[in-house]
Amino acid sequence: AFTVLFVLSGFGNGSTYKMIPAVFAREAEEAITSGAGAPQAFARARRVSGAVIGIAGAVGALGGVAVNLVFRASYQDGGSGDTAFLCFLAFYAL
């Protein structure tokens, strides 16, 4: 069950990464209709979307570290991963 949960959350993660450049491209199009130069607007959109993707990736990497830390604490304190799985279940339920 948890494997399915992680796989489905990965699909959502991929969709988010795909949406980020589209959002900034749309902002560039709006800037162009307001009178901004097209090359500059799209160059800015590429730079900003790249930065946002980088930040999102860094936050995602911290999430991967947190999963390992929770498992480690669960095994050290209780000898099994049950507590970690309950924490993950509570996190995803929110």
Task: Tell me the C-alpha to C-alpha distance, in Å, between residue 32 and each of 28, 37, 38, 53.
Answer: 6, 6, 6, 23
- The token duo for 40 is 């500059």
Average pLDDT over residues 28-45: 95
pLDDT band at 60 (very low <50, low <70, confident <90, very high): confident
Average pLDDT over residues 34-58: 95
Task: Express the helix, strand and coil content of the chain in percent, nearest 5 each.
Answer: 90, 0, 10
Decide if pLDDT at 78 tops 90.
no
Decide if pLDDT at 50 tops 80.
yes
pTM of the model: 0.66
If you search the block for the tokens 């699909």, which residue do you land on? 11
Domain-wise residue ranges, the chain: 2-93
| pLDDT at residue 8, as a whole number | 79
